């Protein structure tokens, strides 16, 4: 067990090093959400009501891009290039490997959340979080939910070339209908209904309670439940469809 | 070396749905031996090796690798085995030295990383990221990653497919170096000369079965001196001769044709393909070959006479 933890830690450190050496990953997973934050912050400067929507929205977006998008792309690459198969032939325990890999994605999500919170305080007229515990709970639920859905999506993606198309076909509509950039209540009813069934709206609502409105965790339990249901479905799908090898031609 | 074989395979079977990829294979590999599975694409070589590596579950039969059943991938076994897959990439953004350091940490008694880099001939590329390695360097990194855990048994699945001649020679030298270190090696190949050059024993596999197994010289794998000469004669019929002395036969044919004032149309000299050797072997072993043509008989003599 100690040995498995040591290997997980080694894997984590290697993942961190690789992440920063990969400019595409660093841009899409790290800089893009921050770019959105500052662009929308600039557009909505002077309208605190809008800023109050955009800051928790970008916090939710950060969770999705660092976990869902990043893991879906990464798992497809590792599977199709044979890295997973190669690792499968070594003594590396599966848990240690996946632990290191997932921890790296969680680190990115956590760092992004911290940056959004600090930027919200420094530039966008939003104070320190109203409820740090609520932020932690929704952050953790969001990470589990979108990380597992990202891995589950990777199973459905046939090859690496098509991975960005699959990921963005979900990611872009998701962020536009889930109230990341505007108040979801302003959207037409049919979009609102779709968004209500999806986890990001509820994650953003929870983060909004923690960061801005002060709506407490106990009053946001229904939102947490939706994220939790998606997380449960995501974990089942991620584990069930998992493949260490590229599909046979 | 202990008496027990490093690998023991008895009546191994594997089906993918309706398709039987492996139909009852038996062989043993002794400790310290270089054993080759030789056969065309789709013969069942890779399926067999991947069952031994623990990647696939067999449909039937008995398999023992270093005393373990590879099904279930016991870690104690993975610590003693090195695997070079047919094609598997490595992280793009780590250097050769970082990759080997990371791999070494997974094993209880790894080889020294720098020594492994030198052994694989990657001394100049130790600080280079994997994505900038040449194709040949990447294959050497594959080998280095398989060796860094200091395994007793190494699987090499088609280690030289797609290599240019120089790279093949280098890969052969690497396999010979493993043999000198006393490692057991199981390799697959579809090159006759490769099996002959490297293997202590060879099993020829076709359609999921072993046709014949033994020392390369015994199998007629060395019958590479044979040539096939074909031409179309005056009546328009395609003629074929297989011979160990193509110079003399060509001389006979051409002088006879010249004397008659004929042209040997579509004249060609070629080496028998691996497939033809298989056909010989199947007809030999199955005793149900078409026979007939003198060329076939001659070829068979040479194959079995080696």
Q: Is the pLDDT of residue B304 over 80?
A: no
B88 vs A7, A83, A91: nearest CB: A83
Is residue B2 included in any domain, yes or no? no
Label the pairing between strands B19-29 and B7-16.
antiparallel
Nearest to B119 by CA among B166, B31, B181: B181
Final residue in a domain of this structure, among B219, B237, B268: B219
Q: What is the pLDDT of residue B164?
A: 82
Same domain assignment for residues B197 and B58: yes
Share of chain A above pLDDT 90, in %: 71
Answer yes or no: do B68 and B198 share one domain. yes
Statement: residue A144 has pLDDT above 70:
yes
Query: Are B153 and B251 contained in the same domain?
Result: no
Beta bridge partners of B189: B38
Contact (CB, 8 A) for B97 and B133: no
Start-to-end C-alpha separation, chain A: 38
pLDDT range class, residue B298, cuts 50, 70, 90: very low
Residue range(s) defining the domain that contains residue B281:
227-305
Cβ neighbours for A130, distance < 8 A, ≥ 6 positions apart:
A209, A210, A211, A212, A213, A214
Residue B170: other Cβ atoms inside 10 A:
16
State the average pLDDT over residues A141-147: 96
Domain membership flag for residue B159: yes
Residue A150 lies in a domain: yes
Task: Report the distance separating Cα A13 and Cα B175, nearest Å.
Answer: 33
Question: What value does the mean pLDDT take over residues A10-26?
Answer: 91
- Whether the per-residue pLDDT at A248 is higher than 60: the answer is no
Closest CB from A11, A83, A91 relative to B79: A91
Q: Count Cα neighbours of A171 within 13 Å in the Cβ-side half-sphere.
A: 26
Average pLDDT, chain A: 91
CB atoms A82 and B87 under 8 Å: yes
Domain enclosing residue A80, as ranges: 2-240
Q: Are residues B250 and B299 in the same domain?
A: yes
Tell me how far apart the alpha carbons of residues B18 and A199 are, in angstroms, rounded to a whole number.
42
Count of domains forming chain A: 1
Distance in angstroms (rounded) separating the CA atoms of residues B247 and A73: 60
Q: How far is it, in rounded angstroms, from Cα A10 to Cα A17?
A: 11
pLDDT digits 0-9 by tens, A163-222: 999 999 999 999 989 988 888 778 888 988 999 999 999 999 999 999 998 898 999 999
* Predicted complex ipTM: 0.87
Q: How many C-beta atoms lie closer than 10 Å to residue B288's C-beta?
A: 8
- Asked if residue B55 is part of any domain, the answer here is yes
Using pLDDT thresholds of 50, 70 and 90, give the confidence band for residue B112. very high
* B296, pLDDT greater than 60: no
Choose the closest CB to B88 out of A18, A82, A91.
A82
Same domain for B166 and B118, yes or no, is yes
- Band of residue B168 on the pLDDT scale cut at 50, 70, 90: confident
One domain, residues B99 and B77: yes
- Token pair in block for residue A124: 């966008």
Q: How many CA atoms lie within 13 A of B93 on its CB side?
A: 16
The percentage of chain A sitting over the pLDDT mark of 70, rounded to a whole number, equals 98
Rg (CA), chain A: 18
Query: B176-188: per-residue pLDDT in tens?
Result: 999 998 999 999 9
Q: Which residues contact A178 (CB under 8 A, 6 or more apart)?
A: A57, A60, A184, A195, A198, A200, A201, A204
Q: Is B13 left (phi over 0), alpha (psi -120 to 50) or beta?
A: beta
* Boundary-marking domain end, from B198, B219, B240: B219
Question: Is B48 contained in some domain?
Answer: yes
Of the listed ranges A114-128, B59-73, B204-218, the one predicted with least confidence: B204-218
Distance CA A217, CA B120 (A): 58
Residues of B in contact with A245 (CB under 8 A): 55
Taking CA–CA distances from B155, the nearest residue in chain A reads A89
User: Mean pLDDT for chain B?
Assistant: 85
Distance CA A99, CA B272 (A): 54
Q: Where are the beta strands (DSSP E) in A26-134?
A: none
pLDDT at B289: 36
| B131 contacts: CB under 8 Å, gap ≥ 6 | B92, B93
Mutate to test the interface with B, among A88, A89, A94, A101 (most CBs of B within 10 A): A89
Q: Residue B220 — very low, low, confident or very high, per pLDDT cuts 50/70/90?
A: low
Chain B residues closer than 8 Å to A82 by CB? 85, 87-89
Is a pLDDT exceeding 50 seen at residue A5? yes
Phi, psi of B133 (to 5 degrees): -75, 150
Is residue A108 within 8 Å of A18, Cβ to Cβ? no
Instruction: Give how far B83 is from chain A: nearest CA, Å.
Output: 7
What pLDDT, on a 0 to 100 scale, did the predictor assign at position B1? 47
For residue B165 the two structure tokens come to 């001649």
What does the pLDDT read at residue B76?
A: 95
Residue after which a domain boundary falls, among B196, B219, B242: B219
Overall number of domains in chain B: 2
Which residue of B53, B86, B89, B96 to mutate against A (max A Cβ within 10 Å)?
A: B89
User: Are B55 and A86 inside 8 Å of each other by CB?
Assistant: no
Mean pLDDT of B272-285: 60
Residue B287 included in any domain: yes
């Amino acid at each position: 067990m100690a040995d498995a933890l040591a290997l997980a830690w080694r894997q984590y450190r290697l993942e961190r090093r690789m992440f920063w050496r990969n400019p595409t990953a660093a841009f899409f997973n790290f800089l893009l959400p921050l770019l959105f934050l500052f662009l929308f912050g600039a557009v909505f400067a002077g309208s605190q009501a809008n800023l109050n929507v955009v800051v928790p929205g970008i916090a939710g977006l950060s969770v999705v891009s660092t976990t869902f998008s990043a893991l879906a792309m990464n798992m497809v690459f590792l599977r199709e290039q044979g890295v997973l198969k190669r690792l499968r032939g070594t003594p590396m325990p599966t848990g240690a490997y996946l632990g290191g890999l997932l921890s790296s994605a969680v680190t990115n999500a956590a760092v992004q959340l911290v940056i959004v919170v600090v930027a919200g305080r420094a530039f966008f007229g939003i104070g320190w979080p109203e409820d740090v515990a609520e932020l932690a709970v929704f952050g953790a639920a969001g990470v589990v939910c979108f990380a597992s859905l990202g891995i589950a999506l990777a199973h459905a993606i046939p090859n690496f070339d098509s991975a960005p198309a699959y990921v963005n076909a979900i990611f872009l509509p998701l962020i536009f209908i889930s109230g990341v950039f505007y108040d979801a209540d302003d959207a037409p009813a049919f979009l609102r209904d779709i968004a209500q069934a999806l986890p990001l709206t509820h994650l953003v609502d929870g983060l909004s309670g923690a960061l801005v409105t002060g709506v407490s965790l106990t009053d946001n339990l229904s939102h947490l439940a939706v994220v939790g249901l998606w997380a449960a479905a995501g974990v089942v799908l991620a584990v069930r469809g998992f493949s260490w090898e590229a599909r046979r031609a | 070396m202990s008496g027990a074989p490093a690998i023991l395979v008895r009546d191994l079977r594997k089906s993918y749905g309706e398709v039987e990829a492996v139909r009852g294979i038996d062989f043993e590999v002794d400790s310290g031996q270089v054993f080759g599975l030789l056969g065309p694409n789709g013969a069942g070589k890779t399926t067999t090796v991947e069952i031994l590596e623990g990647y696939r579950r067999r449909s039937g039969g008995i398999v023992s690798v270093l005393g373990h059943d590879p099904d279930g991938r016991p870690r104690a076994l993975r610590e003693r085995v090195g695997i070079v897959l047919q094609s598997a990439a490595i992280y793009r953004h780590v250097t050769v030295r970082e990759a080997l350091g990371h791999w070494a940490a997974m094993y209880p008694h790894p080889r020294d990383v720098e020594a492994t880099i030198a052994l694989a001939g990657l001394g100049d590329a130790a600080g280079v990221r994997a994505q900038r390695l040449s194709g040949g360097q990447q294959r050497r990194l594959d080998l280095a990653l398989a060796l860094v855990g200091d395994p007793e048994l190494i699987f090499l699945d088609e280690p030289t497919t797609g290599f240019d001649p120089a790279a093949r020679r280098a890969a052969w030298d690497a396999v010979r170096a493993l043999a000198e270190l006393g490692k057991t090696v199981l390799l697959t190949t579809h090159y006759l000369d490769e099996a002959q050059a490297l293997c202590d024993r060879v099993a020829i596999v076709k359609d999921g079965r072993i046709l014949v197994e033994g020392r390369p010289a015994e199998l007629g794998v060395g019958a590479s001196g044979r040539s096939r000469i074909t031409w179309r004669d005056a009546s328009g019929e395609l003629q074929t001769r297989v011979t160990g002395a193509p110079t003399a036969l060509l001389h006979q044919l051409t002088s006879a044709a010249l004397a008659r004032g004929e042209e040997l149309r579509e004249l060609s000299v070629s080496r028998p393909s691996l497939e033809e050797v298989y056909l010989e072997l199947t007809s030999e072993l199955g005793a149900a070959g078409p026979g007939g043509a003198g060329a076939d008989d001659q070829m068979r003599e040479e194959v079995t006479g080696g």
